[in-house]
A and B are shown apart, each in its own frame.
Chain A
Amino acid sequence: MVSPASPLPSTTEPKAPPQWLQPLLMLAPAGVWLALLLVLPTLLIFQLSLVPGIRPGQVVNPSGLDNYWRIVQPDYFPVLTRSLFFSIGTTIACLVLGFPIAYWIALKVPKRWQNLVLLAFVLPLWTSSLLRTYAWITILRPTGVLNSILGKVGMPPLDLLNREPAVLIGMTYSLLPYMVLILYAALEKLDRRLLEAAADLGANPAQTFWRVTVPQSLTGIAAGSLLVFITSMGDFVNPEILGGASSMTVARLIYNQFLGATQNWGFGSALSMVLILVVSIAIALLLKYGDRSAAGGV
């Protein structure tokens, strides 16, 4: 296609402007923006996290790890464990619910309909997350839709709103589409001949599932779980709107240190650093024990 007459320098060209100018023009704007509004701010909250009891406007004067020490005291440690409980619970729920639907779309729906069915499933993702969470109030409140349905079929009402089950339902609802998208991408590449071979060689459906399907889609399972775990760790909207006073999480506690009544920026910054740390540990674990390409998929 291309005449090979002249040797091709693949990245640079011998024209007038100096060679460093073009990369600089392309990479500097984003670089400056990220440095100013992402890297520098993160370093600032790290510095602020070392100042106990700081309020807006006070002079930053780092004096130790008191804020971090405070997080592991009995007053606040349950908040951290509750956040982990919500995240792990949501991850398991999304995996258990997401696998069948991703499997169904990837292996049972005819090829040319797969994209459409997948899109239909994740379409609610494109609507306001606050409003989707708000819808669950209407469903779960004591006089809400769920209890009026339960009443009609003669079952006792459930009191879920403003308690932990409502938060788990809301988080699972918000994050299930992400899990399905990632699992579908993994299952769609599954080699169907292996499933047939396993059946031919006498494996029962359960054996085929656990020893062929699951190992083949392990990358997707790991990537999807990581994504759901880290997103739910930072979720503020679901616990705040559905969880009531009893479901304090790290994200809500951070919010309160800045925009709530408490106004303790140092403590809030320390909590943010812990949140970033937990997320980094999750990613590091995946990189260490999972396939490297799984993390690339997130």
Chain B
Amino acid sequence: MNSTSNRPLSWPWLSLIAIGLFGFMYFPILVLAFYSFNDSKYSTGWKGFTWKWYVAFLNDSRILTALANSLIVAFFAVGIAAVVGTLMAVGLARYRFPGKQVYQGTAYLPLIIPDIAIAVATLVFLAAIAIPVSGGLIQLSLGTVISAHVVFCLSYVAIVVSTRINDLNPHLEEAALDLGATPTQAFMQVLLPELMPAIVSGCLLAFVLSLDDFLIASFTAGGGSSTLPMEIFSRIRTGVKPDINALSVVLILSTGFLFAIAEYLRYRSERKRFS
């Protein structure tokens, strides 16, 4: 009760709470890492150091196939979304047309609608177009997962890109056109380089979300091809083994690495902008 303090919450208490919450965020990850090196299948206690869970999952062809599937899906979905989403963001920033509000609302809908509803709707749609042609016009496969992932990936790419467009100098492209560039040249050589940092960070965000998606993939993948989250989910359901811990440590380190690259790119582009 120090009346001379002009701080709404006093400093030491707040710092303690902050440290505690950092602990809360990192504790589960540390627990995962700890047990990935523990030489015991079920024990909570420490039974000695081992690499065997890492060896086990690196020799597990089901996990590796699922990982490859996930990477294929993320790679293609993000690739398509990068082009389509960027064009959409630029188009929406540049043109006025009847129904623009509706278009814009729909474009950002996947950011709001729960994944489970998107997953259900996509499954019903795929079933509806597959059933009339018996034998199936469209088979549930990685292809259907990719086309479903493009929907939310393009929303994320577009929202990141459109924030960047709002910060841009609108006269740059006009200047290029004035100086004799064709619209295509102005787009490719002036606008696109300016948007590139946003496109890259939008893509990385979409990539991580696509790799992490469990619901939409399990509704659209069909029986044959599972993605990594689907495989992890079925293993969590059937029983907990430390090779999953080893997998999580590898995944956490690699997404952490991706994240560091993304942040570095963002940092560098901001430095360039303000210096």
Contact = CB atoms under 8 A, between A and B. Distances in A.
Contact of A25 (B9, B27, B28, B87): B87
A135 B28 contact: yes
Interface in A64-113: 97, 100-101, 103-105, 108
Contacts of A136: 28
B178 interface: yes
Contact of B27 (A120, A139, A204, A236): A139
A149 B215 CA distance: 34
Interface string B228-262: 01001100100010001001100110011011000
Interface string A108-137: 100000000001110110111111101111
B91 interface: yes
A138 B8 CA distance: 38
| Interface class of chain B by DSSP | helix
A161 B122 CA distance: 33
A56 B127 contact: yes
Contacts of B122: 37, 41
Contact of A100 (B9, B120, B150, B211): B9
Nearest to A127: B252
Contacts of B274: none
Contacts, number: 265
Contacts of A37: 122, 125, 147-148, 150-151
Interface of B: 3, 5-11, 14-15, 17-18, 21-22, 24-29, 31-32, 35, 44-45, 83-85, 87-88, 90-92, 94-95, 97, 103, 106-107, 109-118, 120-125, 127-128, 131, 147-148, 150-151, 154, 158, 170-171, 174-175, 177-178, 182-183, 208, 211-212, 214-215, 218-219, 229, 232-233, 236, 240, 244, 247-248, 251-252, 255-256, 258-259, 263
A63 interface: no
Interface residues of A, number: 96
| Interface class of chain A by DSSP | helix
A182 interface: no
A127 B251 CA distance: 7
The list of the 10 closest CB pairs from A to B, nearest first, reads A234-B114, A26-B91, A199-B6, A41-B121, A135-B28, A41-B125, A30-B88, A209-B8, A131-B248, A27-B91
Contacts of B171: 1-2
B14 A103 contact: yes
Contacts of A42: 117, 121
9 contacts: A29-B84, A36-B125, A100-B17, A108-B14, A131-B251, A135-B32, A234-B116, A272-B120, A279-B114
B256 A123 contact: yes
A81 B170 CA distance: 50
B212 A8 contact: no
Contact of A144 (B22, B44, B218): B44
Given A6-B178, A196-B6, A121 B25 contact: yes
A45 B118 CA distance: 10
Contact of B178 (A2, A100, A258): A2
A28 B122 CA distance: 20
Interface string A9-25: 01101010000001101
B29 A127 contact: yes
A244 to B, nearest CB: 12
A44 B121 contact: yes
Nearest to A129: B212
Contact of A126 (B131, B158, B255): B255
A251 B215 CA distance: 10
A218 B95 CA distance: 34
Nearest to B131: A57
Contacts of A177: 25
B87 A27 contact: yes
Contact of A135 (B29, B214, B255): B29
A251 B114 CA distance: 9
A130 B233 contact: yes
A200 B5 CA distance: 10
Contacts of A27: 87-88, 91-92, 95, 97, 103
